[in-house]
Amino acid sequence: MTTSEYADKIDDMIKTRPPKINPDKLLYEIYVRWKVAQGLRAVEEGRVYSHEQVREDMWRIIASKSSAHCIFAQKGVEP
């Protein structure tokens, strides 16, 4: 979807919103729709991992404590 198509969708959302909708709720709805669209594009482009791939990677990291410590330390989290 192109930028102008997103702009048109957002414009439609604003025009069809209930008159007393909270602006924060409207922004949240726009954000959620945008993130869903990103996820769908990732699936179409094959940029996804299966549950099994994620599980194997997780256990590989946990099994190698020094690697896990290094990865978690980069994120500021203790394993």
Separation CA 57–CA 66 (nearest Å)? 15
Separation CA 14–CA 29 (nearest Å)? 11
Q: Which tokens in the block code for residue 76?
A: 């500021």
| Residue 69 pLDDT > 80 | no
Contact 26, 17 (CB under 8 A): yes
| Residue 77 pLDDT > 60 | no
Q: What share of the chain is helix, strand, coil (3-state, %, to 5)?
A: 75, 0, 25
DSSP letter, residue 61:
H
pLDDT in tens, 13-63: 888 888 888 889 888 988 998 899 899 999 999 999 999 999 999 888 888
pTM of the model: 0.56
pLDDT in tens, 43-52: 999 999 999 9
Which amino acid, one-letter code, is at 20?
K
